[in-house]
Amino acid sequence: MSYANAEELLAAIQPESGGTEVRDPATGEVVGRVAEATVAELDAAIDTARASQPGWDALGHEERKRLLNAAADNIEANAEALAELLSREQGKPLNGPNARFEVGGAAAWLRAATAYEVEPEVVVDDGETHAVKHYRALGVIGAIGPWNWPMMISIWQLAPSLRMGNTVVMKPSEYTPLSVLALGHVLNQVLPAGVLQVIAGGREVGERLAAHPEIDKVMFTGSTRTGKAIIRSSADTVKRLTLELGGNDAGVVLPDADPAAIAEGLFWGAFINTGQTCAALKRLYVPESIYDQVCQALVEVAAKMPMGPGLEEQNVLGPLQNKAQYEIVADLVKDAVDSGATVLLGANPDEQATGNFYPTTLIGDIDPGNRLVTEEQFGPALPIIKVKDVEEAIEHANALEVGLGASVWSADRAKAAEVASRLQAGTVWINSHGTIDPRVPFGGAKQSGYGLEFGLDGLKALAQPQIING
Catalytic residue among 244, 295, 376, 453: 244
Residues 6+ apart with CB under 8 A from 450: 241, 242, 243, 443, 444
Residue 312 annotated as catalytic:
no
Residue 244 annotated as catalytic:
yes
Other C-beta atoms closer than 10 Å to the C-beta of 172 total 28
Sign of torsion over alpha carbons 328, 333, 335, 336: positive
Phi, psi for 76 (deg, rounded to 5): -65, -35
Catalytic residue among 84, 278, 295, 453: 278
What single-letter amino acid sits at 303? A
In 3D, which of 232, 242, 233 has the Cα closest to residue 209? 233
Alpha-carbon distances of 274 from 68, 241, 374, 379, rounded to whole Å: 31, 29, 19, 6
Whether the CB-CB separation of 385 and 396 falls below 8 Å is answered with yes
Residues 6+ apart with CB under 8 A from 49: 140, 167, 168, 169, 194, 195, 197
Residues labelled catalytic: 244, 278
